[in-house]
Chain A
């Protein structure tokens, strides 16, 4: 899996027309000399055939060496380590906030009649369709420019985290909410809920102790995918809110064809995605009511 990711990324970046050496030395207002270009090409092995460059890169990756950035004058390993924290905090908090919003919305609007359900569905559809850049800009205009309550850029304290987290959480909450509502409705109509009611369980008890556990399963599985999408959302959000992180690193690296950084970041993201999928599988196991209901059948 990681090998496939590295290969696809390497060729995708290198096959876009563009010369990394020009990009390394170039940049606004610079005047590139041919001597400097030749030196840079030799230094990074860019004068070698593409296949040789690919094999060299792969060889380094196999030994756990992510290589050295063409553009940033530093090794990719330390670079990724220095930037990953910001993105992880953003992704984890956004996932948590998205779950919270989705749960509140789904439980509030389920079983309260048609109007509530329609409002809930409507909000979820709108939220899921909101593009990050639009949401980010709107939040900045409202909360930073008009009301002046939250900073539009990252700050040393946590205030700067609020707008980026909300930006990432709202569309995700829309997705999670839709999935959750659907399975909640299915669960509420299923026989085990009827039997729970027959045993005298209250509405709230049914919702929280039985139906919700069923309903949460697809949403938990979706969280693995969501984590990946949050990291891609981080590209936009980190740029707009001027936050340090992997998303911004990736964007800059693609612009200057900094192959080692692009491959390095994508590998780390792929690794995080794999880990997250394992975690969600485990979490599904824990949340899945079926084994426990068999075990504790007499008690419930």
Chain B
């Protein structure tokens, strides 16, 4: 893959610039968009970049100026703990990316690049990894970053007392750590893990000061200490987190634009749950950046010449409807295909998302280089759907127009999480309900809050469900589609909502995860890519999921904000290179 000259996306102030990190969609020919598309994508990206950088900005200075306070308004839930080791969800990642850093990062092409670790090597059997740490980095409490610090972090993540979910799962194969020297740390694995570097790049595995980790969990949750460009100064619950500049900052990721301290003096991180208020606050100049921009505000912003839209889809899985193949009616592949063919997604997405979301036909996010797109499988075709249902024994219809078989109506129970599905997505599900009815499906949508929704899933009381899953890299497929993910743990939790149980798929996913080196190039990388391609074909051709679009992640930036970008890891905003042109 060609290296990008500049992975940073300068944002233009005057004109609306949509940053497009997506792969181009394959055209009429249903092609497998893996390596070829990735190359084409990189080329397109290069062109887009040239276009961006050459556009002149109006007024003010073009040189970054230091100082000022940036106010960020988040629509995500306020974290209950600012340490992303504890639990580990997206709201935590959003804010902790400002003050915590990871061992490695990703560049815009999805390649692993150095961050707190300068370099790394892996043994031929893939069971031993050595990371050499960057020189002269200290945490903001003065503790030096050394091998022992990394060991303390891994121990913290693996300690059940910490209550880590995301980081804990990501380190499942790590059985031991060792300080080879002050600056070299070795991780020992039980089995090879081709996803290790991608896991370590995630903000949920950020490296914190070992001294600070020894405080009580309450203290550490209130103000975690890292190496990042900003420091947690105060946190007034339900109001704001104040972050101040780290004057001694020395560890930007390899793709940053400058060295030394950040330009911004302070970031005020606010929580504004209401979407309309958030946008109004941006328009009124009370805040400079908002997240969770909804389709209606994005289209308003596109019309404005002062607000810049940053479209940064999250990595991992695409947003998709998972069809429960573990029980009737979706234990029949023909019925699953019939449902998919009877849902008119394209028109609904176009009207509800007003151009802000692009239809996906992949199990993976479009930012995943190894994603396979199969638009041929997900066309709206009610005639084909009707034929499939006739053939599967659902030929009769009852007086309400729904199909029946042996006196049972063709019912699809679809619990919807109002916390995880934005209003436009909830409307999309209603439109799917309406179009699937024409073919004879009785789709029963129930809107539930998060904990009721978890309960519906845990008790297997669903036929279809849509759950986002953010993770770097294609290993997310193993979590979502390996049969190990069906058996609910004693807690009732499981991730394989489609309940896919295919030994061939299991062995492909296990093998891909255990390709002996995690290097992202060379012969092993090709082998890994080929395995994931085969696995995705099995998943898509089995009609276990109905892909919708990428996991939406839109930021709107006020007119004064320059140099902000989304980190290519999990698409959280990065303000290290940002400055205010007021």
Contact = CB atoms under 8 A, between A and B. Distances in A.
Interface of A: 16-41, 71-74, 79, 82-83, 137, 140-141, 144-145, 148, 151-155, 239-242, 244-245, 248-249, 252, 255-257
B426 interface: no
Nearest to A152: B280
Contacts of B81: 73
Nearest to A83: B238
Nearest to B418: A255
A148 to B, nearest CB: 6
Contacts of B420: 28
Contact of A242 (B277, B419, B471, B490): B277
A172 B77 CA distance: 30
5 contacts: A17-B451, A18-B455, A30-B165, A153-B270, A153-B277
Contacts of A256: 450-451
B353 interface: no
A33 B165 contact: yes
A164 to B, nearest CB: 11
A148 B284 contact: yes
A153 B452 contact: no
Contacts of B93: 29
A235 to B, nearest CB: 11
Contacts of B471: 31
A30 B166 CA distance: 6
B63 interface: no
B144 interface: no
B87 to A, nearest CB: 5
Contact of A19 (B77, B218, B451): B451
B461 to A, nearest CB: 10
Interface in B241-298: 270-274, 276-278, 280-281, 283-284, 286-287
Nearest to B87: A25
B408 to A, nearest CB: 25
Contact of B455 (A17, A36, A83, A140): A17
A34 B489 CA distance: 6
Contact of A20 (B89, B287, B451): B451
A145 B283 contact: yes
Q: Which of B169, B280, B492 has the most CB of A within 10 A?
A: B280
Contact of A137 (B87, B276, B283, B287): B276
A179 B314 CA distance: 55
B452 A18 contact: yes
Contacts of B491: 21-22, 32, 34, 37-38, 41
A28 B277 contact: no
Contacts of A252: 77-78
B88 A31 contact: yes
Given A27-B91, A35-B160, A72-B80, A242 B450 contact: no
Nearest to B84: A30
A34 B277 contact: no
A30 B451 contact: no
A19 B455 contact: yes
B90 interface: yes
Contact of B80 (A18, A38, A71, A255): A71
B89 A28 contact: yes
CB-based closest 10 A-B pairs: A18-B451, A29-B90, A34-B489, A30-B89, A37-B491, A27-B89, A242-B272, A244-B238, A23-B451, A22-B454
B5 interface: no
A84 to B, nearest CB: 12
The listed residue with most A CB atoms (<10 A of its CB), out of B73, B271, B491, B570, is: B491
B163 A36 contact: yes
B450 A152 contact: no
B439 interface: no
B470 A39 contact: no
A248 B239 CA distance: 11
- Best-surrounded residue of A35, A141, A152 (most CB of chain B within 10 A): A152
A27 B77 contact: yes
B533 to A, nearest CB: 24
A153 B284 CA distance: 10
B168 interface: yes
Given A19-B458, A27-B89, A153 B281 contact: yes
A151 B284 contact: yes
A5 to B, nearest CB: 23
Contacts of A151: 281, 284, 286
A28 B468 contact: yes
Contacts of A244: 236-239
B201 to A, nearest CB: 15
B293 to A, nearest CB: 15
A17 to B, nearest CB: 5
Nearest to B287: A153
Given A73-B81, A148-B284, A30 B87 contact: yes
Interface in B443-498: 449-452, 454-456, 458, 468-471, 479, 489-493, 495
B283 A25 contact: no
B269 to A, nearest CB: 12
A19 B454 contact: yes
Contact of A25 (B161, B165, B274, B570): B165
B168 A35 contact: yes
B76 interface: yes
Interface string B133-167: 00000000000000000000000000011011110
Contacts of A82: 237
Contacts of A73: 80-81, 217-218, 221
Contacts of B273: 239, 242, 248
Contacts of B277: 140, 152-153, 240-242
Contacts of A148: 284
A39 B159 CA distance: 11
A217 B236 CA distance: 41
B200 to A, nearest CB: 15
Contact of A155 (B164, B276, B278, B286): B286
Contacts of A240: 274, 276-277
A29 B80 contact: no
A152 B283 CA distance: 10
B160 A36 contact: yes
Given A19-B454, A252-B78, 10 more contacts: A18-B455, A28-B77, A28-B420, A29-B89, A31-B165, A33-B493, A36-B163, A41-B491, A141-B280, A242-B272
A38 B492 CA distance: 11
Given A31-B169, A33-B165, A242-B270, A22 B238 contact: no
A30 B493 contact: no
Contacts of B452: 16-18
A34 B490 contact: yes
Given A19-B455, A244-B236, A26 B286 contact: no
B12 to A, nearest CB: 24
Contacts of A39: 160-161, 163
A249 B237 CA distance: 10
B169 A33 contact: yes
A286 to B, nearest CB: 37
Contacts of A257: 451
A32 B493 CA distance: 7
Contacts of A71: 80
B419 A255 contact: yes
A30 to B, nearest CB: 4
Nearest to A37: B491
A244 B272 CA distance: 10
Nearest to A28: B90
A201 B284 CA distance: 53
Given A19-B455, A33-B168, A255 B450 contact: yes
